[in-house]
Amino acid sequence: MSILYRSDAARAAGWANYFAQHAPDLDFRIWPDAGDLKEVEYLIAWQAPAGFLAELPKLKVLFSSGAGIDHVDLSAVPAHIPLVRMVEPGIINGMVEYVSLAVLALHRDFFDYMAHKANHVWDPLEVPPASARTVGVMGLGSLGCAVLERLAAFGFKLRGWNRSPRTLEGVETFAGADQLQPFLAGCDVLICLLPLTPATKGILNRELFAALPKGAALVNVGRGPQLVDADLIEALDSGQLSRAILDVTEPEPLPADHPFWAHPRVFVTPHVASMTQPESAAPILLENIRRDQRGEALRDVVDRGRGY
């Protein structure tokens, strides 16, 4: 039984150690030391380069090493090979930390104080209670739900929008295109945690920004192509939006001459909101392999029709 890991080299040892200790029956290989590709049954990869899957005739399951799968060319993955998304506590915790930090930094005016500090200005701003602000999350998958649960502890009013209806305690939920505008109308901070699909590409655009209350802030932790960059700059410059925190951009890395770098109300981080942690991801992936070996249904299989 062979598994090939072809992803982030820095974290490869963490994966290999876990499998060596907990699954000595599985032959765990790290790219490029892949041995005979004809023996590989499970592949853990971020991207599967064109033609590579064709070299793995025994491949049974393709595991994405990240939460998103938009980087995988689904047309290159044979229909009988399931693609499994990475759903693991390390990614979820990282996202919860990042979004909480972003929302609290906005709520507590940290970006204003950074500017004040640079100018040696002592100017206390009035702080409304968290309960006076509404945070809305687009995308109510495992990440969106975990983020909302944590934000609830601070007392924010919460809203969630999803393609299909969801019920979440303490969260006002909205679903589908018809309910997008009413959802947006109440969001002081909008968090994008949507998967990238043809339907969500460019969704963060002028029309969407106009539907938010004036002065709302955007946090994009989804994918760069969901944002129309020029529309964001226009919305910030007109005051329709107050700030944007972007962990994802298009392209990545963000080119040095991109206007986001110099914009005073855009804060950029280099796609670090959350990352797969081998310590917590390997047990989950191994359990999925064991399910496959027992002939049981795999968890977290991507629905190819939906694209996530």
**Residue count, binding to ligand OXD (CB under 6 A):** 5
Query: By three-state DSSP, how is residue 242 classified?
Result: strand
Tell me the closest approach of the beta carbon of residue 161 to ligand OXD, in angstroms. Answer: 20
User: Cα(265)–Cα(237) distance, rounded to whole angstroms?
Assistant: 9
- Residue choice 48, 66, 159, 244 for contact with ligand OXD (CB under 6 A): 66
71 is catalytic: no
User: Cα(29)–Cα(5) distance, rounded to whole angstroms?
Assistant: 6
Give the CB-nearest residue to ligand OXD: 66
Report the first-to-last Cα separation within the chain, whole angstroms: 28
Tell me the closest approach of the beta carbon of residue 308 to ligand OXD, in angstroms. Answer: 10
Tell me the closest approach of the beta carbon of residue 104 to ligand OXD, in angstroms. Answer: 22
Tell me the closest approach of the beta carbon of residue 92 to ligand OXD, in angstroms. Answer: 11
User: Cα(70)–Cα(66) distance, rounded to whole angstroms?
Assistant: 10
Give the interface segment with ligand OXD, choosing from 66-74, 148-156, 177-185, 296-304 (CB under 6 A): 66-74
67 binds ligand OXD (CB under 6 A): yes
Give the contact letters, 13-52, x = binds to ligand OXD (CB under 6 A), - = no: ----------------------------------------
User: Cα(156)–Cα(136) distance, rounded to whole angstroms?
Assistant: 10
User: Cα(47)–Cα(268) distance, rounded to whole angstroms?
Assistant: 24
Give per-residue burial for 250-281: e unless 16+ CB within 10 Å, then b: eeeebeeebebeebebbbbeebebbbbbbeeb
- Residue choice 14, 68, 90, 141 for contact with ligand OXD (CB under 6 A): 68
Annotated catalytic residue within 223, 258, 263, 265: 223
Adjacency order of strands within the sheet including 27-30: 27-30, 2-6, 40-45, 61-64, 83-84
Site for ligand OXD in 80-119 (CB under 6 A): 91
What is the token pair recorded at 53?
A: 């899957």
Scanning the structure block, which residue is given the tokens 């945690």?
193
Tell me the closest approach of the beta carbon of residue 91 to ligand OXD, in angstroms. Answer: 6
Give the interface segment with ligand OXD, choosing from 36-44, 49-57, 63-71, 99-107 (CB under 6 A): 63-71
225 binds ligand OXD (CB under 6 A): no
Are the C-beta atoms of 6 and 45 separated by less than 8 Å? yes
Question: Residue 38: beta bridge partners?
Answer: none
Question: Residue 266: beta bridge partners?
Answer: 244
Tell me the closest approach of the beta carbon of residue 195 to ligand OXD, in angstroms. Answer: 9
223 is catalytic: yes
Closest to ligand OXD by CB, 232 vs 275, is 275
What is the token pair recorded at 206?
A: 């002028």
Site for ligand OXD in 259-298 (CB under 6 A): 275
* Contacts with ligand OXD, residue ranges (CB under 6 A): 66-68, 91, 275
Active site residues: 223, 271
